[in-house]
Amino acid sequence: MAATIPQGRLQGKNAIITGAGGGIGLETSILFAREGANVLMADVSEPALAKALAKVKEVVPTASRVESIRCDVSKESDVQAMVESQDSWGGTDVIFNNAGIMHANDADAIDTPEKIWDLTHNINVKGVWFGSKHAVLSLRRHKKSRGSIINTASVVALVGAATPQLAYTASKGAVLAMTRELAIVHAREGFRFNALCPAPLNTPLLQDWLGEDKAKRFRREVHFPTGRFGEPIEQAHAVVFLASDESSFVNGTDFVVDGGMTKAY
């Protein structure tokens, strides 16, 4: 498992993390705080957010600034208010547009209900667009010459899933395409965009979906050369790199963190 040695790699950077109430977002909030960032944790669930904020403060007592804000990323007014709340911090340097939902339709992919499609796309795609848009507006407002925007996609944007989750897969493909284009058009302003592509991880999102179904779990695990799913902390380390100036020439990537899953046969 990756080591967690604090090095101040994000010292002084103002960061926003959406979906910070659990899973990847919470682990990333902890690492960002350890690395010296000022962190604004955002989530639609107030109870999850309160618990997550308390956790970060407990495990990183030396954190310079960690706060939380309720935000439904599918609502532009919420996202705008979230980003603008960092104006008084000196403006946003990094945003990790990570909030996402997955509804699997175990029956048949072509039966995906339209309302599930719309809900998934409103959060997974529009949420990333709103976060990217307001981050750019903030970077410009504060006359920043560099900024890092990291958008969570998934390996299902790169390889087809055998278990039906069509709305989710399409939404993550949209995140990759959008991230790539934003990376190209904003590169000369110094704003970098990268898409994180995690493979299935041990988070509530996956556990809820797998439930007690051992056969379903096996159908997924068998694709992993490592013989295991990833852990959220392993994604968080990649996000620290993408947020930091160490990745200054990394732009527009599909940043795959999958234990080799997408290269296996």
Which residue ranges make up the site for ligand NAD (CB under 6 A)?
Answer: 18-19, 21-25, 43-45, 48, 71-74, 98-102, 123, 152, 154, 198, 200-201, 203-206, 232
**What is the smallest separation between the CB atom of 188 and ligand NAD, expressed in angstroms?**
29
User: 265 burial class (0-12, 13-18, 19+ CB within 10 angstroms)?
Assistant: exposed
Count other Cβ atoms within 10 Å, centred on residue 235: 27
Q: Does the annotation count 168 as an active-site position?
A: yes
Closer to ligand NAD by CB, 76 or 189: give it: 76
Please provide residue 52's backbone torsions phi and psi, each rounded to the nearest 5 degrees: -65, -40
**What is the smallest separation between the CB atom of 123 and ligand NAD, expressed in angstroms?**
4
Q: Packing angle between helix 127-141 and helix 76-84, nearest 10 degrees?
A: 30
**What is the smallest separation between the CB atom of 145 and ligand NAD, expressed in angstroms?**
29
Angle among Cα 252, 120, 47 to the nearest 5 degrees reads 100
Closer to ligand NAD by CB, 207 or 248: give it: 207
The residue annotated as part of the active site, out of 32, 130, 168, 255, is 168
Closer to ligand NAD by CB, 142 or 177: give it: 177
Interatomic CA distance for residues 183 and 27, integer angstroms: 25
Tokens of 161: 């899933």
Closer to ligand NAD by CB, 140 or 158: give it: 158
**What is the smallest separation between the CB atom of 189 and ligand NAD, expressed in angstroms?**
26
Interatomic CA distance for residues 237 and 254, integer angstroms: 16
Please provide residue 191's backbone torsions phi and psi, each rounded to the nearest 5 degrees: -100, 120
| Residues involved in catalysis | 168
